[in-house]
Amino acid sequence: MSDQERIKQAVLSAIERTEFAQVLAEAIGELPGQEERSGTGTGTGTGTGATLLLNRIVLGDILDDSILGARPQDRTFPLRLLFSELGTLLAHDGHVGELAFTLASGLNFFFRAAMDGEAKMRVGLEVSRQLYTLAHDAKLDAEVVAKAAPLLATIMTSELERVRFESIDHTKVYDSQIHERTATSDMQSARILRPASFLCRVQANNAVKAKAQVVT
């Protein structure tokens, strides 16, 4: 098993023990009963448990009003759009819905679970990879993602002590000192087609802790 797979297994194991996972299991178990009581049998999942669950999944109980209530002219509006889109994609079946749920679960684990600094950084990087995977596969508006990513990196950095996340969405040229190509990249090209993860730096001296993955 590769190091990446071991990290993922550790993350999944930890998620299973969190309050978020318990709420998820309870809400999912509640839905069939709600359908039977309503007599509709539609499976829309509009009951109170599902509504509260969705609110928690998209961090509605964590994000402050400057994000949740942001207007088009506000700096944080792209982040509101991103989380709104995430909430919509969670209802999708198939690949995109699975990606959205994985991202939402990763964000919840990052913000809610107690872990040491190194583990939190690694989880955060995996979350950023999932963000860009979802953005690409779901064909999210590239401009919205590029504006929302730095805001999300800043919020996630507030949970870290010695390192910080940076988005590299507006960087167009590959730099081996701060970038790492993905396996599907053109290894000869210096043109960045899209980011694939956040950059992580040490706050004290600005040194690169983890390079940003990019697709060239």
Residue 209 CA to residue 117 CA, distance in Å, equals 13
Most confident of the ranges 22-36, 95-109, 168-182: 168-182
- Pair 160, 202: CB distance under 8 Å: no
- pLDDT tens string 178-197: 999 999 999 999 999 999 99
Q: Indicate whether 2 pLDDT > 80.
A: no
Percent of the chain topping pLDDT 70: 69
Q: What is the pTM of this model?
A: 0.76
Least confident of 67-76, 89-98, 131-140, 172-181: 67-76
The first and second tokens of residue 72, run together, are 């088009």
Full DSSP string of 35-79: HHHHT-------SHHHHHHHHHHTTTTTS-HHHHT--TTSTTHHH
* pLDDT tier at 167, thresholds 50, 70, 90: very high
Contact of 199 with 166, CB cutoff 8 Å: yes
Say what the pLDDT of residue 207 is: 97
Both tokens of 155, joined, read 């919020």
How far, in Å, are 1, 148, 211 from residue 73 at the CA level? 48, 14, 33
pLDDT tens digits for range 83-131: 888 878 877 888 998 898 888 888 888 888 888 999 999 999 999 999 9
